[in-house]
């Protein structure tokens, strides 16, 4: 597992799968958190690059944390996610994202994240979330 990153604190994960693939780290105030993730051997394919499925998981984890912030921890599920893989992410790279709330309705939340390595966008994701119990 990764040691805490300078300037970040561990994110409190509660989902068993997220705990298994984590940790992720955060900095900033609720509603404006920036997240970071250090790629280790568990997350890489045999060529030493971050597995695309792990990038999708990271997007779900971090954008989901931002949905929690935007909805005062309302239960929600991912309805859909679109992803663009723009640059290879290597073993030991640090991936960072500041999720953006695009829109919120009574029952839906729309999010976007640009995931960077060394200041360059490596991956982008947009997602739609359903707030449970809301029609």
Domain ranges of the chain: 9-131
d(CA 116, CA 98): 9
CATH code of 9-131, in short, is: 3.10.129.10
Half-sphere exposure of 18 (CA within 13 A, CB side): 18
What's the rounded mean pLDDT across residues 78-105?
96
What average pLDDT does the chain have?
A: 92
- On the question of pLDDT at 34 being above 80, the answer is yes
d(CA 34, CA 23): 14
For tokens 């309302």, what's the residue?
74
């Amino acid at each position: 597992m990764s040691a805490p990153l300078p300037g970040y604190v561990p994110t409190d994960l509660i989902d068993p799968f997220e705990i298994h693939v984590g940790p992720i780290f955060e900095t900033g105030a609720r509603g404006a958190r920036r997240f970071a993730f250090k790629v280790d051997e568990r997350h890489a394919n045999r060529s030493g690059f971050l597995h695309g499925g792990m990038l999708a998981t990271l997007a779900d984890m971090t954008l989901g944390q931002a949905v929690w912030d935007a909805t005062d921890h309302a239960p929600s599920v991912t309805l859909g996610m679109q992803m663009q893989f723009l640059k290879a992410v290597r073993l030991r790279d640090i991936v960072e994202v500041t999720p953006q709330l695009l829109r919120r309705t009574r029952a839906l939340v729309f999010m976007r994240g640009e995931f960077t390595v060394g200041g360059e966008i490596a991956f982008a994701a947009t997602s739609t979330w359903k707030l449970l119990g809301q029609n």
